[in-house]
Amino acid sequence: MESKTTFKTEYAVQMTCKDCVEAVKNVLSEVPGVDHFDINLEEQRVVVEGTAPPSKVSKLLKNSGRKVIVRGQGTTKGAHSGAAVCIFEPYTFDINLIQQPQKQYDPKGLARFVQIDSEICLIDITVEDFPPGNHGVHIHELGNISQGAQSTGEHYNPGNKEHGDVTTGHAGDLGNIEVDERGHGDLVIESSQLKVWDLIGRSMVISLNEDDLGKGGNPQSKIDGNSGPGLIAGIIARSADEIVVSDKPFDLGINRSKPEKNNKPEMKNEQGLRRSTRRKIRPLKFWKNEKVVYGRAEGSKVPVPVIKEIITISDDEEVIRPPPRKHSTTEKRATTEKKKSQILDWETGKAVTRHIIFMPSMLKPKSVVTYKYKFQKTFSEGQFLSSGVLVLPKGAEKPSKNSKDSSMIFYVIKGKISVTAHKTTFRVPAGGQFLIPRGNQYRIVNNSKDEAKLFFSQAREFIEIKSKEMEEDGKKKSHVDMGYERIN
């Protein structure tokens, strides 16, 4: 598919020597529609100008045995017709769908859209730390990712077609992205069915299975290509850049952790692609204890902090921490004693003393027999309402149980957990909360690398039961069932 508009595409291409440069030259010289190209060995960068489909150029460069990533796109004259970006949100990733529970995935991904002209939309997608294999890629009708891919609706299909490939199927059918054993995958597509302005506010989803492109021979193949449930999703948002050029969270092994000095405020490079003058630093690998070291800019009269370097603290290195703050006698007493307060009883209207404050020092959850998790009840109101704390060590779970006639609300204080409620499974990070309605089977699993801690509250409605003795005595009293379903 060739555009009538001449545009530029910037690629990050793995090159280590002059022979690599010659090999890349030979590949590009044979591609129809490539009018001009520039190769920078030091930066491992190739800029191609012409009407040749970027997907074709990318494929040919990869076939030469090199790693290739599309880093930017733009038109050579004037502005493009529109641009958008989609960042795949990690919290939409459902680890329970993967058949490799021993592998801890931390998926990241980015998709960029550029409307090259009135006919062609260029899309490039990159993912990392993703399950290996082929995965279907689709644009969905809705931009609601509150429940991950499950809440994004059907495939975007304004033409009311059957499912198929990028040319004949739904407008939102984008084929498959191939992920290697390292968890890295990328895909470049040109579509004549998509227009950037129609995609803003919709979502993109990467599925569990490979898309058979409507050739599976069964009814489901004509709906979603048997690609299965969505693994990860993101919302498509408008991009304000005239030229879309960005450093993705993936590289070709080039160490960019320590920026070089550059005092020249360059707004455009030699290819005419607009760039920011700010230093570009790859995302920190917090799981490797990386951190930024800041310093003061040399020769600057204004105390503006600048990034000096990024360092990694060894797991074996002793970290010096400040001594704990000494508490006053009054503060100690308030945090260690179960102090009772005087309040009014709702039923009698009389003053009573009760525990209504729970200090952090009082939190000492105990292990549940036969299970790995810990539990502590903090408050109860009669027995129809209670609250407490649930602690799940790494790999622990609260086994499947029915909530019966209790409704429960959980708040994740720290960590990340996987929840199954009836037939729905979802992940909740720290700061998130979820509801288990009455009469539902539920299960909570800690698949993360750290301990998970949750606060919960639960309640059940009163059930009036008239006893025979009361009826015989002619009294209009009733017995109230005050029990509750314990969390443990």
Q: Which CATH number belongs to the domain containing residue 450 in this structure?
A: 2.60.120.10
Q: Which residues contact 274 (CB under 8 A, 6 or more apart)?
A: 241, 242, 243, 245, 267, 268
Residue 67 within any structural domain of the chain: yes
- pLDDT of 482 reads 35
Shared domain for 158 and 15, answered yes or no, is: yes
Position 362 scores a pLDDT of: 86
User: Computed from CA positions of residues 96, 98, 102, 106, in that sequence, does the dihedral angle turn out positive or negative?
Assistant: negative
Buried b (16+ CB within 10 A) or exposed e, 184-204: bbbbbbbbebbbbebbeebbb
Residue 273 lies in a domain: no
Judge if 334 and 391 occupy the same domain.
Answer: no
Q: Does 460 lie in the same domain as 335?
A: no
Does residue 323 fall inside a structural domain?
Answer: no
CA distance 385 to 398: 21
pLDDT along the chain (488 residues), means of 10: 66 87 89 87 87 80 80 58 83 72 75 82 87 93 89 92 92 93 86 90 93 93 92 85 43 39 48 52 59 58 53 51 55 51 84 85 83 87 86 90 90 92 90 93 89 92 49 43 41
51 three-class SS: coil
With tokens 């495939």, the residue in question is 155
In a domain, 259, yes or no: no
72 and 217 inside one domain: yes
| Residues 446 and 474 placed together within one structural domain of the fold | yes
Q: Residue 66: its pLDDT value, please?
A: 81
What pLDDT, on the 0 to 100 scale, is given for residue 359?
A: 85
Which of 204, 221, 245 is the endpoint of a domain? 245
User: Does one domain contain both 439 and 347?
Assistant: no
Count of structural domains, the chain: 3
- 90 plus 179 within the same structural domain: yes
Domain boundary among 309, 337, 362: 362
357, part of any domain: yes
Mark whether 354 and 427 lie in a shared domain.
no
Domain assignment of residue 165, given as a range:
7-245
